[in-house]
């Protein structure tokens, strides 16, 4: 049940995109962890660059998207830059389409 | 800050800056000021201050009100000071330019306009310096240090400028006249080299790294770049002031400062090349490609400066050198980054609040790079042609180059307005439920 809710939350988060890269934050690897317990959801996420003005909007977007999933009663989102995001976290097919260097 | 992320008045500063750029371009097309008039003529003073204060300084202030908080990851000291500062700067500049026109006989005698303009400008810039300085000093590392050095240079620039304005009005006695007779290079170097160039360098480090997903430049590396550049400006201001006091001439001081200035440009080139090499996004957006042309302008400026100094022709061609610095390097970079910043801030303002509730477009969906490219290319080609016309002593052909620059800038501004109006975003993503169209001239609260 918890795993199924986590899956639905993960799907819901695909509506949130990184405005610069133009892909959803799940496939970009921004979501580090989703933990669910009794309807309370805690999401740990990152962004490409610390201090980017889009960071708080991404955080709020994740909160909004997760809160709309049936069965979710509360959402807490933690933004972290440890570890730092790298393009290696992107889904391979999307990484290629975004033109990231293979070495990165 | 709107939603703690977006400076409310950055667009207002950009709009006012672009209006002043058009004023300057019209003056150049009409043959007002250098090269049609002498480089120290009152007409040239009108042109130079419309460009340096009206266009470049207002655009830089607008960008800094947005990005200094990003550099230090803290809110601006006071968002409320930005609009009064813009009002003081605009009124001060109009008064100063009217004073110059009066000085040249184009307006009835009213030289009191010069000190009035100076006082208003000093007040406006002081608000900017305190607001940005207190914010940047919260975390004075990396690019924020460049901003602090730029703000210190701005203070030196407006102090010299105020002395000159009072001297031109005849309110300072012989001391002011003495400083005015020798101090103009110090005023110009502190403004163009210190305030505008050091600040542009600092902001570019952050913007390039952020938009190309490159690691920030190593702090020790950028510190060396800043140290050499700040030493060049500091030596010019302090050593130059002492040299004026001792009546010993400025040649030695300016020669040493030029060497350090060149070293700083070289180190900056190394830093920027490092950011490009280390970028994770291989594809370069239009703003990055066009910023590259401004870096070429900076390098060309260094080469031109060396060539003119080596052939003892710097004084004869200082106008061409300054034109390349102002339009090839600084204005090129500002236009390229403005194109990106407007798109990015417009996206944040319009779509940031509805993220997670509805699908949103990408930042790149707000721009039409294919259409904008030709205007940037025309602008740069016209600037380089204009520089050659100045070097060749062809004022009529220079006016043709200024006309081409104007066409390029009109095209770029049209693209910027289209971005702000979301004109290139296809429906239904353009204004999804809950999203509010942005105002052209400011960020909505």
Q: Residue with structure tokens 């194109």? A: B339
| Residue-level pLDDT at A100 | 75
Residue A93 lies in a domain: no
| pLDDT score recorded for residue A49 | 82
Q: Provide the b/e sequence for B415-432 (b: ≥16 CB within 10 Å).
A: bbebbbebebbeeebbeb
Contact list, A10 vs chain B (CB under 8 Å): none
Tell me, yes or no, whether A39 lies in a domain: yes
Contact residues, chain A, for B356 at CB < 8 Å: 13, 15-16, 60-66, 68
- Predicted confidence band of residue B3 (pLDDT cuts 50, 70, 90): very low
Looking up tokens 């199924």, which residue turns up?
A4
CA dist B379 and A89 (Å) reads: 40
Of A66, A63, A52, nearest to B66 by C-alpha is A52
Q: Is the pLDDT of residue B104 over 90?
A: yes
Q: Which residues of A touch B347 (CB under 8 A)?
A: 19
Domain boundaries, chain B: 307-317+328-445
Sort out which chain B residues have CB atoms less than 8 A from A16's CB and list them: 355-356
> Tell me: the pLDDT tens digits for B357-406?
999 999 999 999 999 999 999 999 999 999 999 999 999 999 999 999 99
* A67, part of any domain: yes
A38 domain-assigned: yes
Q: In terms of CA atoms, which chain A residue is nearest residue B348?
A: A54
Whether residue B363 and residue A99 make contact (CB cut-off 8 A), yes or no, is no
Q: What is the β-pairing status of strands A74-79 and A40-45?
A: parallel
Q: How far is CA B357 from CA A1, A61, A64, B229, B444, in A?
A: 24, 7, 6, 48, 20
Structure tokens at B239: 């050593």
| Boundaries of domain holding A54 | 2-83
pLDDT > 70 fraction of chain B, expressed in percent and rounded: 99
Answer yes or no: is A90 within a domain: no
In a domain, A76, yes or no: yes
CB atoms within 10 A of CB B210: 21
B186 close to A (CB below 8 A): no
Q: Do B70 and A64 touch (CB under 8 A)?
A: no
In sequence order, the 6+-apart residues with CB closer than 8 A to the CB of B238 are: none
Work out how many domains chain A is built from and give that number. 1
B352 token code pair: 């940031």
Q: Which of B280, B348, B362 sits opposite A100 (nearest CB)?
A: B280
Give the H or E element holding residue A74.
Answer: strand A74-79
Closest Cα partner for B160 from B132, B194, B203, B133? B194
Count of CB pairs separated by less than 8 Å, A with B: 92
Which residues in B lie closer than 8 A to residue A66 (C-beta atoms)? 356
Q: Which of A17, A50, A101 sits opposite B360 (nearest CB)?
A: A17
- Judge: A64–B5 Cβ closer than 8 Å, yes or no: no
Instruction: Name the residue in chain A with its Cα closest to that of B359.
Output: A15
Average pLDDT over every residue of B3-20: 91
pTM for this structure? 0.95
- Look at residue A96 and tell me if it is in a domain: no
Report the percent of chain B where pLDDT is more than 90: 91
């Amino acid at each position: 049940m918890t795993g199924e809710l986590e899956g639905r939350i993960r799907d819901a988060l695909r509506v949130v995109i990184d405005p610069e890269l133009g892909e959803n934050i799940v496939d970009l690897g921004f979501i580090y962890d989703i933990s669910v317990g009794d309807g309370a959801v805690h999401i740990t996420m990152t962004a490409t660059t610390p201090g980017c003005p889009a960071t708080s909007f991404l955080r709020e977007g994740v909160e909004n998207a997760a809160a709309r999933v049936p069965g979710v009663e509360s959402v807490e989102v933690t933004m972290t830059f440890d570890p730092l995001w790298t393009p290696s976290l992107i889904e391979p097919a999307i990484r290629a389409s975004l033109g990231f260097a293979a070495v990165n | 800050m709107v939603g703690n992320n977006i400076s409310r008045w950055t667009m207002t500063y950009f709009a006012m800056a672009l209006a002043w750029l058009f004023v300057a371009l019209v003056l150049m097309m009409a043959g007002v000021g250098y090269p049609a008039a002498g480089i120290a003529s009152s007409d040239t003073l009108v042109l130079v201050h419309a460009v340096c204060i009206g266009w470049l300084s207002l655009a830089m202030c607008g960008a800094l009100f947005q990005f200094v908080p990003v550099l230090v990851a803290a809110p601006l000291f006071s968002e409320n000071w930005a609009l009064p500062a813009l009002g003081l700067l605009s009124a001060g500049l109009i008064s100063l330019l009217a004073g110059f026109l009066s000085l040249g006989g184009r307006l009835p005698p009213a030289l009191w306009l010069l000190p009035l303009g100076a006082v208003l400008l000093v007040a406006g810039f002081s608000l900017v310096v305190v607001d940005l300085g207190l914010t940047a000093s919260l975390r004075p590392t990396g690019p924020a240090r460049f901003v602090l050095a730029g703000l210190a240079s701005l203070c030196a620039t407006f102090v010299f400028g105020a002395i000159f304005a009072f001297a031109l009005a005849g309110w300072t006695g012989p001391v002011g006249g003495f400083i005015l007779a020798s101090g103009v290079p110090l005023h110009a170097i502190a403004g163009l080299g210190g305030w505008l160039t050091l600040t542009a360098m600092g902001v570019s480090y952050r913007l390039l790294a952020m938009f190309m997903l490159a690691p920030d430049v190593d702090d020790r590396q950028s510190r060396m770049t800043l140290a050499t550049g700040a030493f060049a400006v500091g030596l010019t201001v302090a050593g130059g002031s002492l040299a004026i006091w001792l009546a010993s001439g400025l040649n030695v001081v300016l020669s040493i400062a030029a060497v350090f200035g060149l070293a700083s440009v070289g180190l900056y080139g190394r830093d920027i090349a490092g950011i490009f090499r280390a970028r994770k996004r291989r594809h370069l957006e239009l703003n990055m490609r066009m910023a590259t042309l401004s870096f070429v302008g900076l390098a060309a400026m260094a080469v031109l400066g060396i060539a003119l100094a080596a052939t003892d022709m710097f004084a004869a061609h200082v106008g061409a050198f300054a034109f390349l610095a102002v339009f090839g390097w600084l204005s090129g970079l500002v236009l390229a980054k403005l194109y990106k910043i407007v798109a990015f801030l417009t996206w944040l303002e319009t779509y940031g609040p509805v993220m997670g509730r509805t699908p949103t477009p990408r930042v790149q969906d707000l721009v039409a790079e294919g259409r904008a490219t030709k205007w940037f290319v025309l602008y740069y080609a016209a600037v380089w042609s204009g520089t050659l016309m100045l070097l060749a002593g062809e004022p009529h052909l220079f006016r043709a180059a200024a006309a081409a620059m104007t066409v390029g800038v009109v095209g770029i501004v049209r693209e910027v307005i289209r971005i702000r109006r979301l004109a290139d975003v296809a429906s239904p993503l353009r204004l999804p439920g809950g999203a509010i169209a942005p105002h052209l001239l400011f960020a909505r609260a």
